Structure 1
């Protein structure tokens, strides 16, 4: 199967092609402004399906709106007619097609051209009026305000928010690509002649800005956004894609002493926190218990023993642990506990606790096991 993708170097094009190329039975014909124009004839002759993504939304000259959004669409359809190729054609339009502005007018003209082409040839056409699309590989100051905000905030550049209460409808690039693949299979989400992306996120400009700033701050606070909120999860992925390659890592504060070290890794308000504990050979840590706080220990390197004693008992229970056999040990409330390094090298333990440490209410009572 041969798929022609116009606008192949664009935001949606790059994401769609990356997905299409993972399917070995599909041959992708990529067409962009840099492509030899003579190839359009060959591609239109051979294509079994066309994703027409080429377009402009921020040209230097307003005449480019019609030249590309309408003019190139006309050239594409005329070339298909030339070779009597009535394969399905998908058009990436915009919700701006409903507006009386140069961009919207050009998009509406492209839609009308496609619908007329369908009437004359019988070819199946799929018109998607896309709202703001966000995600990886988008261009700041071009594709969407989300791309601009993510880029600027990630690089400590100022942003301008004209109206924080402005309501926005957004679709995530992976949801767009998933729907386009459904369209390729003939299962498009069509409503009253137009196709839709099933998952649309509604929010305000101010909420977007607040979230992106919180993502940047989360690296300093060792926190993680609420990933159960689907828009937050998608926006966070988008923000990370705008980090420079020298920004991928960030330092953690290691609390180091002669016994080893203790380092907080991730903190969440509703899922507790994760830390990394390193114990030197022969060192015992802990010897305390909790009323309500509970933990999970996972030794990932070295070997040792975790000892327990119920507050109301003198009996000691031992769990021998090793990085050679990963197992999680729960630390129940009401048991004083300790962990001792029995090996000749550092022992590394991943520790999860069900709440972020509160120095005002530590719920940690010293008691020898």
Structure 2
């Protein structure tokens, strides 16, 4: 089965294409923009040029493919390219994430694509979506999701909802700050990090789910999630894997709420801290889900420690740790 992959030079896309390239069942065909950095793609992989904002540019790829995995999207703040950052306005995000997806689906149907797999995000899952959310990525992913669900499509389709994904090939260093904090501190306590919760999944688990979805019949929706862990648990796991003598003690919630919040507020008012005291008390939530959605995936999942270790080892291998 020849699989057209959009977003193939992104974090998940690179891991997916490398995996597909080593299997006998699937042959990847990568759709890239002319400005894309393709040097990290595996040697010998087929490439076609196309752009979701340019109708007609991806016809050749669809004509040659049996299935489509759609990963390409604009995520504000996650591009290191300054030109792309300038483009990350609401209109451009919608043009790519919603209009581009709709057009791609229509053309996939015209070219008799057998299976479409769309990668969304956990917060755009219809059972978890908050229609008051002020996040254009989540909003547009939900709208693209609804285009798929309510369309009369001739192909089988699956929608994938991963939580907070880490692992190898994070060339844009989107999640490196988690590991950098541990490497830079012997004692790691708030406000050196923001308290909260994380639901971490291995990028390989997402890739395995995408591969599984290629063989699914009908219409499907898959959550890829782990357990909800406190920020301190996550940092302690990183410290244990790194073995660099960083101590991450558990901090009682009362200390965060009563003792540290006023300090954070003063720092924020002086432009020295990214969030205010109230936001600090609330804490970050990265991919967290209700209990019934935890540890969900159609493929075997890796543990938090394995996930952290694989990510840490990769950052070490490229010389940033």
**TM-score bucket (shorter structure):** 0.5 to 0.7
Equivalent position of 1:175 in the other structure: 205
Give TM-score, length-normalised by structure 1.
Answer: 0.55
Q: Tell me, yes or no, if the aligned pair for 1:115 and 1:125 is still in contact at 8 Å.
A: no
Q: Tell me, yes or no, if the aligned pair for 1:53 and 1:92 is still in contact at 8 Å.
A: yes
**Higher Cα Rg, which structure:** 1
The answer to whether 1:75 aligns with 2:103 is yes
Deviations for 1:5-28, whole angstroms, at most 9, x for unmatched residues?
A: 110001111111111111134321
> Distance between the aligned counterparts of 1:153 and 1:66, measured in 2?
36
CA RMSD of aligned residues (A): 3.1
The answer to whether 1:195 aligns with 2:226 is no
> Distance between the aligned counterparts of 1:95 and 1:49, measured in 2?
23
> Distance between the aligned counterparts of 1:138 and 1:27, measured in 2?
23
Equivalent position of 2:288 in the other structure: none
Partner SS state of residue 9, structure 2 = coil
The answer to whether 1:88 aligns with 2:161 is no
Give TM-score, length-normalised by structure 2.
Answer: 0.62
Deviations for 1:306-336, whole angstroms, at most 9, x for unmatched residues?
A: xxxxxxxxxxxxxxxxxxxxxxxxxxxxxxx
Deviations for 1:12-55, whole angstroms, at most 9, x for unmatched residues?
A: 11111111111134321101333522661011122211111111
Shift of 1:168: 1.9
Shift of 1:94: 0.7
Question: Which stretches in structure 2 are left out of the alignment for 5+ residues?
Answer: 37-47, 51-55, 78-84, 247-301
> Distance between the aligned counterparts of 2:207 and 2:155, measured in 1?
22
Question: Which stretches in structure 1 are left out of the alignment for 5+ residues?
Answer: 222-228, 249-369
Structure number with greater CO (CA < 8 Å, separation at least 6) is 2
Which is helix-richer, 1 or 2? 2
Partner SS state of residue 56, structure 1 = coil
Equivalent position of 1:280 in the other structure: none
> Distance between the aligned counterparts of 1:16 and 1:237, measured in 2?
16
Deviations for 1:208-264, whole angstroms, at most 9, x for unmatched residues?
A: 122223333x2579xxxxxxx92112211211111255589xxxxxxxxxxxxxxxx
Q: Residue 46 and residue 246 in structure 1: after superposition, are their counterparts in 2 closer, same or farther (change >3 A)? A: closer
Deviations for 1:101-133, whole angstroms, at most 9, x for unmatched residues?
A: 22211011110111233xx22321111122111
Which is strand-richer, 1 or 2? 1
> Distance between the aligned counterparts of 2:8 and 2:316, measured in 1?
24
